[in-house]
Amino acid sequence: MSAHDPVRSTDRLNRIWSRGKDFLGTELPIMCGAMTWISDPDLVSRMSNLGAFGVLAAGNMPPELFHEYVNQTRELTDQPFAGNVITIAPNYLEHLDILCQEKVSHIVFAGSLPRGSEVEKAKASGAKVLCFASTSSIAKRMISYGADALILEGSEAGGHIGHVSTMVLLQEILFNFEEIPTFVAGGIASGRMIAHLGLMGAAGAQMGTRFVMAEECNAHDKFKNVFARARAREAISTPQYSVKLPVVSVRALNNHAMTHFGDIQLDLLDKLASGKLTRQEAQFKVEEYWVGSLRNAAVDGDVEHGSLMAGQSVGMLKKVQPLREILQDLVDEADAGLAKAEKMMG
């Protein structure tokens, strides 16, 4: 088998995976969520070459570096992949321009709600647009803007999260918006779960924490070792201390970085009250902290003081594996899970 041969779906799975496969243009409707410092050209291209779907993380990357990342990914794969742009990032509009200019096949809007004109711009470049939806009203708005697919992500996910669990979002969004494909994220670690989500109507799944444990993922070995020892309940979310400083909750393994974030919030609130900072400046400081802290852990291996962003599914991950093996396990589990469901239904 060639290193570039994709992991294959099965005839049984194709009955529930065809919509997601057609939308993504892949053999498997499995997306690797965009993770800052981790979802680089190497991981993204490997995902796509193996038949899944890589998503390149723009984060708050300098535009020229992001442009270089897009080109590097193109050199490493001729398969579809997406660019993920953060609508609240200072370089967001330039990131969007790059994806449109380079005619990347799929664009994912994350962070907050894109404007209708920005969705139109992405679609005008020929891209298929995916938007996150955390409520039914947001889902309606994104569809009215022209979104081609939705991603619902429950609070079980790692990194920046919403407030509602996957279980509730399935009922609020997946069951009620069947006109476009919906991909599900948050708390997913097994192929059996992906199969059952398909039976519920999901077009596919997005996973992040699971793929951190790939041998080919550039995350530091110490970062992966902490994941392998972690329990689900140790992946906690940060609180917001005051409405004067709205912060997006972050889910990560509990360590000094999580504790220190509370101190940072209190200090920023003091500076807001004294007029030393505007709210926008304070919020930027918050995001600056998380970006730097995640790099400290994921890239440099400082697992005591760096941020260990992880979803609650981390408790089910016990070993580092080759990416091909992870994807094959997911397919095998999904096929077996669907066969069991069919048997139960007679």
What's the first-to-final CA gap in the chain, in angstroms?
Answer: 37
Helices assigned H by DSSP within 25-150: 41-49, 63-76, 92-101, 116-124, 136-145
Taken in order 290, 292, 297, 302, the sign of the CA dihedral is negative
Helices assigned H by DSSP within 61-206: 63-76, 92-101, 116-124, 136-145, 166-169, 191-200
Please tell me the least confidently modeled range out of 127-141, 145-159, 236-250: 236-250
Residue 114 CA to residue 121 CA, distance in Å, equals 11
Is 4's pLDDT higher than 80? Answer: no
Residue 41 CA to residue 31 CA, distance in Å, equals 15
Residue 301 CA to residue 316 CA, distance in Å, equals 22
Kindly report, residue by residue over 172-190, the tens digit of the pLDDT.
999 999 999 999 999 999 9
Residue 54 CA to residue 40 CA, distance in Å, equals 9
Give the pLDDT confidence score for residue 3 in this predicted structure: 57
Is 1's pLDDT higher than 70? Answer: no
Residue 66 CA to residue 100 CA, distance in Å, equals 13
**Mean pLDDT, the chain, as a whole number?**
95
Give the pLDDT confidence score for residue 248 in this predicted structure: 84
Domain boundaries, the chain: 11-219+316-344, 231-309
Q: Nearest Cα to 61, choosing from 295, 306, 298?
A: 295
Tokens of 28: 């498997």
Could you say which architecture CATH assigns to the domain 11-219+316-344? Alpha-Beta Barrel (3.20)
